[in-house]
Chains A and B, each alone.
Chain A
Amino acid sequence: MDNKELITPQCLVEGDETYDLVYEKSYVMTDTRLHYCPGCGHSTAHQILAEVIQELGIQENVVGIAPVGCSVFAYDYLHIDWQEAAHGRATAVATGVKRCLPDKYVFTYQGDGDLAAIGTGETIHCVNRGENIMIIFINNGVYGMTSGQMAPTSLEGMKTTTSPYGRNVHTMGYPIRVSELIAPLPGAFYVTRQSVHTPNAVRKTKKAITNGFEYQKLGKGTSFIEIISNCPSNWKMTPAQANQFIENEMLKYYPVGDIKVPSKEDLKDLVK
């Protein structure tokens, strides 16, 4: 049986429920058409997020904080309460929300320019206070929304519209590994780096985001989930090439895997 057969309903007659359902859009996703470019990792990350919220049954208890960048419209796509923050300030906004609504699940969804350049201070201090939230950090090494300028996470030698001859680390600084930077902070409870370029990677990312919500029940600190993503449009690649670039280049500098995990002792109060 090939893929096409797998995803073709066997018997789709009105009133007849006996067909093979292999995929259904999460009801947490709205019907708004995603504005992301074809092949963009944001779409995948959004769907994972929606699925996790649905599976955990927490739709009524989630508040999301959207950033400035490509995912500035994140609030259009998920059926949950949202706040749209100023550029870089999502973790400060999330702090305000969570401190006033400690029983809600609060997360930020931020890109690399937002979180690792203009919002570095807010990010570090939010984690250092151990704010009981989840930070989802989409790292694709480029400013997508403003059409492809160098990000703090752009790889050495990477050509962007503001590093047209390639990123020279001696004059433009080095690509910053935020997960490694914040993991040593005592307020960081769970720090992991995942990606969305293969089905297996998507499954692992989904698990990480599930953890990020679940751990908020414990009130023991910040969950930080970095997701290595792509930018076919600004990398000037096809989606397939872009995913290959993640595998061959991005993951060399930004290796996937858990960077800080809670101990069994830490998790003993987690009721499933």
Chain B
Amino acid sequence: MEQKDDIRLMKGNEAMAEAAIQAGMDAYFGYPITPQSEVLEYLTREMPNRNFLALQAESEVASINMVYGAAGAGARVMTSSSSPGWSLMQEGVSYIASAQLPCLLVNVNRGGPGLGTIQPSQGDYFQATKGGGHGDYRLLVLAPNSVQEMADFVFLGFELADKYRTPVLMLSDGAIGQMMERVIFHKREIKKIDKPWATTGKPKDRERNIITSLFIQPEKMEKVNLELMKKYEEIEKNEVRYEEIMTEDAEYIIVAYGLSARISHKVVILAREKGIKLGLLRPITLWPYPSEVLNKLADRVKGMFVVELNAGQMIEDVRLAVNGKIKVAHYGRMGGIIPSPEEVEEHFEKFIKTL
């Protein structure tokens, strides 16, 4: 008999946790922080009946280093946090990137800086896409805009992490993490690959494996840097993901990701009702960034409007992508405030009058 898909009503954070179990996650290490504490709660509740480990660490600093150890031991491993906790993890993330350890990291973005608020924000875009920790490294960043995608990107994230031996970040926010939606768990085949580099105890017939980010001779360090850059080039070539909505005949484009993209989708509908040809470009990978498609769109649209829940961060990447061809403006709210589609549409109309 054909098995039916598993359909549930869940919070984004819970869907992510369920997806991780279904994706064959071996271990999760985390620390409570609003608005993502449901992840650790869900996992510790499920742990007795299903085959994985969830451990509450004493801090985010410890969590990320447990992830380092487990990933180095060859496990499929994950952690999640929210902005202040994600900041604490940055040292460990830099080490993980350097040691080339595959793992899935999640930041359910809340308002900042500082302790900030517990409401949704996109204020961590720079931190997610431009570094965050020290040194030359990149994270592959996935930005879900629904509960369904929070689940789907867990499967995708683990696969990409293994494929490139690199940490993958899912950058969500407090709204997508907290809201409840229908989510479908498709029957999937879980792929796990061999990790001959893992520290599992040195058998007689192989050299010892060493997981390290210390390359004290400049020549060796640069070689590692070049190796990383080559990998990042490969990721840029293969893994750019985005969604286009009503861009075919568009005269204007909104660029927005995650929660902002959901609001902006409604803005597109409102504008179209008024006869304004507006389209939406939603980056799904924030790094690698869909620069090429934006650059091509810039040849045939009059202006781009970047909607973010921050003071204007992704707009820098949009401007780099269009390289001065057209005017690019930004609209954002901060502090955990979510603008209505009408509010955004009003500011969009003001913008197009300036063109």
Q: B-contacting residues of A (Cβ < 8 Å)?
A: 59-63, 65-66, 72-73, 75, 79-86, 89, 92-97, 99-101, 104, 121-122, 125
Nearest-neighbor residue (CB-CB) of A121 within chain B: B58
Nearest-CB distance from A73 to chain B (Å)? 8
CA distance A33 to B56 in the complex (A): 41
Given A59, A84, A86, A104, which contacts B92 in the complex, CB threshold below 8 Å? A86
Nearest-neighbor residue (CB-CB) of A66 within chain B: B212
CA distance A125 to B31 in the complex (A): 13
**A100-B26 in contact (CB<8A):** yes
With an 8 A cutoff between CB atoms, is B199 at the interface?
yes
CA distance A167 to B321 in the complex (A): 57
Nearest-CB distance from A49 to chain B (Å)? 14
With an 8 A cutoff between CB atoms, is B202 at the interface?
yes
Nearest-neighbor residue (CB-CB) of A58 within chain B: B201
Given B59, B62, B200, B209, which contacts A101 in the complex, CB threshold below 8 Å? B200
**B214-A72 in contact (CB<8A):** yes
Interface centre among B29, B65, B203, B214 (most CB of A within 10 A): B65
**A100-B27 in contact (CB<8A):** yes
**B204-A85 in contact (CB<8A):** no
**B58-A95 in contact (CB<8A):** no
Q: Which 9 A-B pairs have the closest CB atoms?
A: A96-B69, A92-B65, A84-B212, A93-B69, A96-B70, A81-B199, A96-B66, A89-B65, A125-B58
Nearest-neighbor residue (CB-CB) of A128 within chain B: B58
Given B59, B62, B70, B203, which contacts A60 in the complex, CB threshold below 8 Å? B203
With an 8 A cutoff between CB atoms, is B91 at the interface?
yes
With an 8 A cutoff between CB atoms, is B106 at the interface?
no
Residues of A with C-beta under 8 A to B202: 59-60, 62, 79-81
Given A72, A85, A122, which contacts B68 in the complex, CB threshold below 8 Å? A85
Residues of B with C-beta under 8 A to A60: 201-204
Given A86, A94, A99, which contacts B95 in the complex, CB threshold below 8 Å? A86
**B209-A81 in contact (CB<8A):** yes
- What 0/1 pattern do residues 185 to 205 of B give for CB contact below 8 A with A? 000000000000001111110
- What 0/1 pattern do residues 267 to 296 of B give for CB contact below 8 A with A? 000000000000000000000000000000
Residues of A with C-beta under 8 A to B199: 63, 81-83, 97
Residues of A with C-beta under 8 A to B210: 75, 81-84
**A86-B70 in contact (CB<8A):** no
Residues of B with C-beta under 8 A to A101: 73, 200-201
**B62-A122 in contact (CB<8A):** yes
- What 0/1 pattern do residues 140 to 152 of B give for CB contact below 8 A with A? 0000000000000
Residues of A with C-beta under 8 A to B55: 95, 99
**A82-B27 in contact (CB<8A):** no
- What 0/1 pattern do residues 205 to 226 of B give for CB contact below 8 A with A? 0001111111000000000000
- What 0/1 pattern do residues 85 to 96 of B give for CB contact below 8 A with A? 000000110010
**A97-B70 in contact (CB<8A):** yes
**A82-B208 in contact (CB<8A):** yes
**B69-A84 in contact (CB<8A):** no
**A96-B203 in contact (CB<8A):** no
Q: A-contacting residues of B (Cβ < 8 Å)?
A: 26-27, 29, 53, 55, 57-59, 61-63, 65-75, 77, 91-92, 95, 99, 199-204, 208-214
**B208-A65 in contact (CB<8A):** no
**B208-A95 in contact (CB<8A):** no
In the assembled complex, 7 residue pairs joining A and B whose CB atoms fall closer than 8 Å, in A order, are: A65-B69, A96-B65, A97-B72, A97-B73, A101-B73, A101-B200, A121-B58
Given A89-B62, A96-B67: A81 in contact with B201 (beta carbons within 8 A): yes
Nearest-CB distance from A18 to chain B (Å)? 29
Residues of A with C-beta under 8 A to B26: 100
**B72-A99 in contact (CB<8A):** no
**A79-B208 in contact (CB<8A):** yes
Given B61, B63, B70, B214, which contacts A100 in the complex, CB threshold below 8 Å? B70
CA distance A73 to B215 in the complex (A): 10
Residues of B with C-beta under 8 A to A94: 69
Residues of A with C-beta under 8 A to B61: 89, 92, 121-122
CA distance A84 to B59 in the complex (A): 20
Residues of A with C-beta under 8 A to B212: 66, 75, 82-84
**A89-B73 in contact (CB<8A):** no
Residues of A with C-beta under 8 A to B62: 89, 92, 95, 121-122, 125
CA distance A130 to B68 in the complex (A): 20
Nearest-CB distance from B150 to chain A (Å)? 24
Given A96-B73, A121-B59: A104 in contact with B201 (beta carbons within 8 A): yes
Given B68, B208, B209, which contacts A96 in the complex, CB threshold below 8 Å? B68
Nearest-neighbor residue (CB-CB) of A89 within chain B: B65
**A92-B211 in contact (CB<8A):** no
Residues of A with C-beta under 8 A to B203: 60
Contacts A65-B69, A121-B62 aside, 19 further interface pairs with beta carbons under 8 A come to A60-B201, A62-B201, A81-B208, A84-B212, A85-B65, A89-B61, A89-B68, A92-B61, A92-B62, A92-B69, A93-B72, A94-B69, A96-B77, A97-B73, A99-B70, A100-B74, A100-B75, A101-B201, A121-B58
